[in-house]
Chain A
Amino acid sequence: MAEAPAISVILPTRNRAGLLPRAIGSVLAQRFRDLELIVVDDASSDDTPALLAQLDDPRLRVLRRERNSGAAAARNAGLALARGRYVAFQDDDDFWLLGKLQAQWDCLQARAARWCLAPYLRLEDDGRASYIGGAWYASQLDYRRGVGEEGPNWSLIATPGWLVERTLIQSLGGFDERIRSWDDWELGLRLWRQTRPEVLDEPLWVQDWLRGSGLTRAERVRANDLQLIVEKHADLWADCPAVQAQHAYVIGRILSLYDPAPAGRRELWQSLRARPTRALDWLALAMSYLGPARAQRLTAGLRRFKKRWRT
C-alpha cells in the first residue's frame, strides 16, 4: 500500500445505513486530503455492507466484524490498523464541516501539541441548536468537575472532535472495552494525564440528535461505567469530596432504580455522609426503599413534572 497518510480517521458503525453516507462523505470531502478512513462495521445486519462495497475512494478501508462488541472495541480494532501520524474519530450519525481536519492540523503544527479538540454545533432533538464551544466550553473541560446530574461534562469531548497523536493513544492502550457508553470520557481522562488539549473556537462539526440517536444508552450501563471510572481514576478526585459525593449519589440513585437495594443504598449513604443537607440525596435514599419498579415509576413521574414545570 502507498505511503502512510498524515491522519487516520476511525469510524465505527452499526446498522445506520441511512445516515452513514453523510458521515463518510463528510470525511472524504475534507479540504485536508492526506488521510485514510477506516470504517469498522460492527456486525451490521442492514444494508451497511452493500453500501460500503459501492464506495470506491482509495483512501477508504473497511473492517467488518462478524460479532457485535461495542463502540470502544470497534474503535480499538480501527486503531490497530491506523497508520497515520494522528488519529481522528467519527460517529455514524454526526458529520464534519469541510474545514475541520485542516483547522485541527494547522493548530497541532503551529502549537507543537499532541491533542486538539474541535468545537461543534449540536442539533437538539427538540429542534433547538447550540454551539458547544467558546470560553464556556473550555471551562467545562476540567476533569475536577466530575459528573453532573445529566452526565459528565466531559462527555462534551465526544470523540468526533478529537485529533490525537496516534502513538500517544496507542501507548495508553486505546479505549477501555469494559466501558460501554462513557469510553470517550475515560480515555479522555488518561489522555489528560499526559497532555492538555488545544481547544479551537469555531464550529467544525455537527452532532445531530435530530436525525441521529443522541444519548440512547441505558441508564444502567452508565452506572456501571461510572463505577469503573471512579475505581480506575480514584486519585483524580482524592481531594474533591464534593465530586466523590456526587459520583456516589449518581451511582446509588441509578443502581437502586434497577437492582434491589443494598449496593445502591451503600453509595447513597456515602454521599449523604459528605453532604447531609442535600434533599435530592435523601429523596433517592427514600426511593431505594420502594423497590425498583415503584422507584422507576416515581422517577418517570418526577421527570415529567420537572419538564412541564420548565415549559
Chain B
Amino acid sequence: MNAPTVSVILPTYHRAALLGRAIASVLTQSYRDLELIVVDDAGRPDPDTAAVVAGFADPRLRYLPPERNRGDAGARNRGIEQARGAWLAFQDSDDEWLPDKLALQMARLAESPAAVAACGSTLLRYVRGPGTVEVVRWPLNARGEVCPQRFLAGFTAFLQSLVVRTERCRALGGFNTEIKARSDFEFCLRLLQEAPMVAVDLPLVLSHETPDSISGRADYRLHDIRRILALHGERIRRQPAAEARYRYDLARTLAMTGQTGPAAAELLRALRRRPTQLRSWALLAALPLGARRLQALAERRQRARGLAP
C-alpha cells in the first residue's frame, strides 16, 4: 500500500464505549487519503477496545495493542513512530471530528507558504449536563497565523484540531513524557517557536466533555505548571502577563489543595509581575477561607456559568 498523506494518531485508555464514535468520525472524513493509528495505552489487554476496533472493516485503520501504560504523551509518541504520512493529525477518544475537518485544513495548508508547519481549527466544546457549548479559537494575528505570545499567555491547546508536518514533529522530539496532562500545550509551545502555524476559523471538531472533566487532577496540574515554568521560564518571564497567569493558576491549585503558604507566595510573585491582575488580589483576600470553602465557591461559580441559554 502507498503511504497515505495524513497519519491520524488516536491514543485511547479504556474508553471502549466512546471510541467507536471517535474512530468513525475520522474514517468518514471527506478527505480520504489517511491512515488512522489507534494506540491502545492500556497496561494489559483490553478486549472491549480491541473489539470496537475490529468492528471497523477499513484497511486504513491500524491498531497498536497494549504494551504498558505510558500516558498521553508516550502513547502519541508511539503512534508517531509508526506514522507513514507526511502530515500528522491527532484525535482524542471522546471527541468527534466534523465531516470536512481534514479537507478544509489540507486545503488551507496547500495555499500556505512551505514554511508553515501546522494548521489548527476552531473547536466546539460541548459540556453535557448543563448543555452549554463554547467556541474555542486559536489566537490569530492579522496575517491569519497563530500568535505565539497570546498562545503562551492562554495556557491551553486543543490538539484534536491540529495538523502538523511529521518531519517537524519528529525533529522536535515529539511530546514531552515528563509532562502529565499538558503535554499538548507544551508541544505547541515548542512548535510555535520554530515555525508559523495557520488555522481554519471554522468549527471543525466537537469535543464532548462532562462538567468534572474540565478541572482535572490537581497534582498533575501543579506538576505540569512547574515543569513548563522550568523548561520555558526564559520565554515566559519575557511576558509579565503570561507569567502572572501561570503563577495565578499555580496559586489557585495550591489554595484548593490546602497549601495556603505556598499559594500566598505564588500570588505575591504574580502580583509583582502584574499588579493590576484583579483575580490575584481576589484570591489573596479569599485565602483565609481555607481549601474547602474555596472549592465550594469555585463549584458554585462553575454551575452559574453553565446555565442553559
Contact = CB atoms under 8 A, between A and B. Distances in A.
Interface of A: 21-22, 25-26, 29, 31, 95, 97-99, 121, 123, 127-131, 133-136, 201-203, 206, 210-211
Given A22-B99, A211-B202, 17 more contacts: A22-B30, A29-B24, A29-B28, A31-B24, A95-B99, A98-B25, A123-B203, A129-B135, A130-B133, A131-B132, A131-B308, A134-B308, A136-B308, A201-B131, A203-B126, A203-B133, A210-B202
B126 to A, nearest CB: 6
Nearest to A22: B99
28 contacts: A22-B30, A22-B99, A25-B99, A26-B99, A29-B99, A98-B21, A98-B25, A98-B28, A121-B124, A121-B126, A123-B203, A129-B133, A129-B203, A130-B133, A131-B131, A131-B133, A131-B308, A134-B131, A135-B308, A136-B308, A136-B309, A202-B128, A203-B133, A203-B206, A206-B98, A210-B202, A210-B203, A211-B202
B100 A22 contact: yes
B40 interface: no
B201 to A, nearest CB: 8
Contacts of B28: 25, 29, 98
Interface of B: 20-21, 24-25, 28, 30, 96, 98-100, 124, 126, 128, 131-135, 202-203, 206, 308-309
Contacts of B25: 98
Nearest to A96: B99
Contacts of A22: 30, 99-100
Contact of A131 (B20, B98, B126, B202): B126
Contact of A129 (B24, B96, B124, B308): B124
B250 to A, nearest CB: 32
Given A25-B30, A29-B28, A206-B98, A133 B131 contact: yes
A179 B289 CA distance: 62
A130 B30 contact: no
Q: Which 5 A/B pairs are nearest by Cβ-Cβ distance?
A: A29-B28, A134-B131, A136-B308, A131-B133, A129-B133
Contacts of A121: 124, 126, 133, 206
Looking at chain B's contact residues, is the secondary structure mostly helix, strand, loop, or mixed?
mixed
A302 B251 CA distance: 49
B98 A95 contact: yes
Nearest to A95: B99
Contacts of A134: 131, 308
A133 B132 CA distance: 9
B123 to A, nearest CB: 10
Contacts of B126: 121, 131, 203
Contacts of B206: 97, 121, 203
Nearest to A127: B135
A98 B309 contact: no
- Residue in B20, B99, B202 with the greatest tally of chain A CB atoms within 10 Å: B99
A203 to B, nearest CB: 6
Contacts of A21: 30
A22 B202 CA distance: 15
B25 to A, nearest CB: 6
A214 to B, nearest CB: 15
Contacts of B132: 131
Contacts of B124: 121, 129
Contacts of A129: 124, 133-135, 203
B24 A98 contact: yes
A133 B206 CA distance: 16
Contacts of B96: 97-98
Q: Interface centre among A21, A123, A131, by most B CB within 10 Å? A: A131
B309 A130 contact: yes
Contacts of A128: 135
A157 B98 CA distance: 22
Nearest to A203: B126
Contacts of A127: 135
A198 B174 CA distance: 48
B120 to A, nearest CB: 16
Contacts of B308: 131, 134-136
A133 B131 CA distance: 7
A200 to B, nearest CB: 12
B60 to A, nearest CB: 14
Contacts of B133: 121, 129-131, 203
Contacts of A26: 99
Contact of B309 (A25, A131, A206): A131
A264 B303 CA distance: 47
A26 B126 CA distance: 20
A232 B2 CA distance: 62
B202 to A, nearest CB: 7
Nearest to B307: A136
Contacts of A201: 131
Nearest to B128: A202
A99 B19 CA distance: 13
Nearest to A98: B24
A29 B26 CA distance: 11
Contacts of B98: 95, 206
A130 B131 CA distance: 9
A22 B104 CA distance: 12
A98 B128 CA distance: 18
Contacts of A95: 98-99
B16 to A, nearest CB: 15
